[in-house]
Amino acid sequence: MNLTYKFSRVTKVAVPTRENMVDDHFGHCDHYTIFTIENNKVVAKEDYPSPQGCGCKSGIAPVLHNMGIEVMLAGSMGQGATNVLTANGIKVVRGCSGCVDVLIEEYLAGKVSDSGEGCHSHGEDGHVCHG
């Protein structure tokens, strides 16, 4: 099966980032790297500051949605954050790692898929905020 994504229209992809690497935890990233994709090529890259607090409670999902983000390529993410992003029309792909620039190229080539695994450091209610 060919997983290559062909974005013929403008699409935006967000990646939780720290020091140009995928941050291990969506809710605690330094910023989001936003890639604008057109004709399956990156045409723009920008940083968007991450709000303080946990991802599912920070209000970032509707902000990203309003920015036109359609895909979130993330490392670890709790189910609460996954649910909030999905409810805002953002496709979540978990289990990503490494350099964000390499990751976006691999995603566009169809080499990245959702791991299906959420964050394992959450408490009984499925969520613990740190800091």
| Calpha distance 90→4 (Å, rounded) | 19
Four-way CATH pick for 11-108: 3.30.420.130, 3.90.226.10, 1.10.287.130, 2.40.70.10: 3.30.420.130
Q: Give the span between the Cα atoms of 129 and 107, in whole angstroms.
A: 29
What proportion of the chain, given as a percentage, has pLDDT over 90? 50
* pTM of the predicted model as reported, rounded to 2 decimal places: 0.81
Q: What pLDDT score was predicted for residue 80?
A: 83
In whole angstroms, what is the distance from residue 36 CA to residue 78 CA? 25
How would residue 52 be classed by pLDDT, with cut points 50, 70 and 90?
A: low
- Contact assessment for residue 73 and residue 33, using Cβ atoms and an 8 Å cutoff: no
Of the segments 19-28, 82-91, 110-119, which one has the largest average pLDDT value? 82-91
What pLDDT band is residue 114 in, cutting at 50, 70 and 90?
A: confident
Instruction: Spell out the domain ranges in the chain.
Output: 11-108
3 state SS of 128: coil
Tell me the pLDDT tens digit for each residue of 65-76: 999 999 999 988
